[in-house]
């Protein structure tokens, strides 16, 4: 009996920056017919050598295939690129980083033009694309039916995590995780600043820092349980009163080391405010309620 190879879904990809190019190579490597377009032609020409079809215009690229993936700089560039195209009958997957409101508006905009819409938030940097063991993935939200239809094709470059029908949820999850990442980087920056003028090799601090952050990361599960139950005191080990009492040590150490405390003080102020409101037996969960306006 003759075995027929599984047909690979043809893909159109608009945007060949660092991320778009990394995505493109994975579809080409796995045998997906790929049509590409980029504002500046050079990155498309480089992919043509590997089998990509180059479209002369964004409109021609959109016309080439049902599945149209965009990976551009920002929402404004998505507008610039797609406004002159005919999206009717297209399955539009937008991997451009945007705000939740922009993603929801883009979904309505696409539906009004006769397209189905899926939004994506990429939790990976370009070298992680096509390398499953790095743990990268893309959050998807919007039409579940559309996600299921293209799941296998979307899973070629990196993992997929569907987070709901609301088209804004992928962007919301993306920005939530990246915001936490910046908080972590801010803490690490302060730690390195503290040792900057000392005879301590930063490369000896780095593994200690990485291990400590890894050890502390599971605390987010208790925070989530507190928020879900409304009981911010259950399982608390290091209560707020104790932690606030320790903050002058951090600020004085920063002063002694000639380091600005500007990355720490906003958080310490919120901790103190929560304590003043009489929540000394909690840990840090109550700070979240001070942030939500
Ligand atoms: N690279 C990363 O580390 C992050 C990882 C997480 C996800 N982000 C988001 O992915 C989107 C694309 O990012 P990128 O890395 O590909 O970005 P660039 O290399 O700067 O390429 C930008 C592409 O967008 C095109 N472009 C920009 N403005 C316009 C416009 N007005 N009209 C048409 N195209 C436009 C640009 O074209 P060109 O400059 O090459 O002609 C590139 O194709 C992004 O949302 C990240 O937040 C990446």
Global confidence as pTM? 0.94
* Ligand 1 atom with the shortest distance to the CA of 43: 40
For ligand 1, mutation pick of 17, 81, 96, 99 (most atoms within 8 Å of CB): 17
**In the chain, which residues fall in CATH 3.40.50.720?**
11-166
The architecture of the domain spanning 173-291 is: Orthogonal Bundle (1.10)
Q: 38: CA distance to ligand 1 center in Å? A: 10
Is the minimum distance from the CB of 42 to ligand 1 under 6 angstroms?
Answer: no
Q: How close is the Cα of 96 to the center of ligand 1, in Å?
A: 8
Give me the mean pLDDT over the 91-110 stretch: 98
Average pLDDT over residues 4-9: 82
β-strands 67-70, 11-14 pairing: parallel
Q: Whose CA is nearest to atom 32 of ligand 1?
A: 77
Domain with CATH 1.10.1040.10 in the chain: 173-291
* Tokens linked to 95: 């991997």
Token pair 């032609």: residue: 41
pLDDT digits (tens, 9 = 90+) for 36-62: 999 999 999 999 999 999 999 999 999
Task: Let me know the angle formed at the C-alpha of 132 by 208 and 142, rounded to the nearest 5 degrees.
Answer: 105
Is the pLDDT score of 2 beyond 70?
no
**Beta carbon of 40 within 6 Å of any ligand 1 atom:** yes
Which is the closest atom of ligand 1 to the Cα of 22? 16
For residue 15, how far is its CA from the centre of ligand 1 (angstroms)? 7
Q: What's the fold here for domain 11-166? A: Rossmann fold (3.40.50)
Q: How many of the other CB atoms lie within 10 Å of CB of 48?
A: 12
Q: Distance between CA 246 and CA 219 in Å, rounded?
A: 19
> In this structure, which residue's CA is closest to atom 17 in ligand 1?
17
Atom of ligand 1 nearest to the CA of 58: 33
Q: What is the pLDDT of residues 167-218, one digit of tens each?
A: 999 999 999 999 999 999 999 999 999 999 999 999 999 999 999 999 999 9
175 within ligand 1 shell (Cβ under 6 A): no
Report residue 266 as tokens. Answer: 């906003």
Ligand 1 geometric centre to CA of 71 (Å): 6
């Amino acid at each position: 009996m003759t075995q027929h190879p599984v047909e690979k879904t043809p893909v159109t990809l608009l945007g060949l920056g660092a991320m778009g190019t990394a995505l493109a190579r994975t579809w080409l490597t796995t045998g997906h017919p790929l049509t590409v377009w980029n504002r500046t032609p050079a990155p498309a020409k480089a992919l043509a050598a590997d089998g990509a079809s180059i479209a002369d215009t964004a409109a021609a690229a959109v016309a080439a295939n049902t599945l149209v993936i965009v990976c551009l700089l920002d929402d404004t560039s998505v507008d610039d690129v797609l406004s002159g195209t005919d999206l009717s009958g297209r399955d539009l997957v937008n991997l451009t980083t945007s705000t939740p409101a922009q993603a929801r508006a883009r979904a309505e905009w696409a539906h009004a033009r006769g397209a189905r819409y899926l939004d994506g938030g990429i939790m990976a940097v370009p070298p992680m694309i096509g390398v499953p063991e790095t743990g990268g993935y893309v959050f998807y939200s919007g039409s579940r039916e559309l996600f299921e239809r293209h799941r296998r094709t979307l899973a070629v470059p990196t993992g997929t995590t569907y987070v709901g029908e609301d088209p804004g949820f992928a962007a919301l999850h993306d920005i939530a995780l990246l915001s936490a990442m910046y908080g972590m980087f801010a803490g690490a920056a302060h730690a390195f600043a503290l040792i900057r003028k000392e005879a301590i090799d930063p490369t000896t601090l780095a593994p200690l820092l990485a291990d400590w952050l890894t050890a502390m990361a599971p605390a987010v599960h208790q925070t989530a349980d507190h928020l879900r139950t409304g009981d911010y005191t259950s399982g608390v080990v290091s209560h707020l009163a104790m932690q606030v009492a320790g903050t002058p040590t951090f600020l004085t150490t920063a002063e002694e080391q000639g380091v600005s405390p500007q990355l720490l003080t906003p958080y310490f102020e919120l901790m103190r405010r929560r304590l003043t409101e009489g929540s000394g037996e909690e840990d840090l969960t109550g700070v979240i309620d001070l942030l939500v306006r």
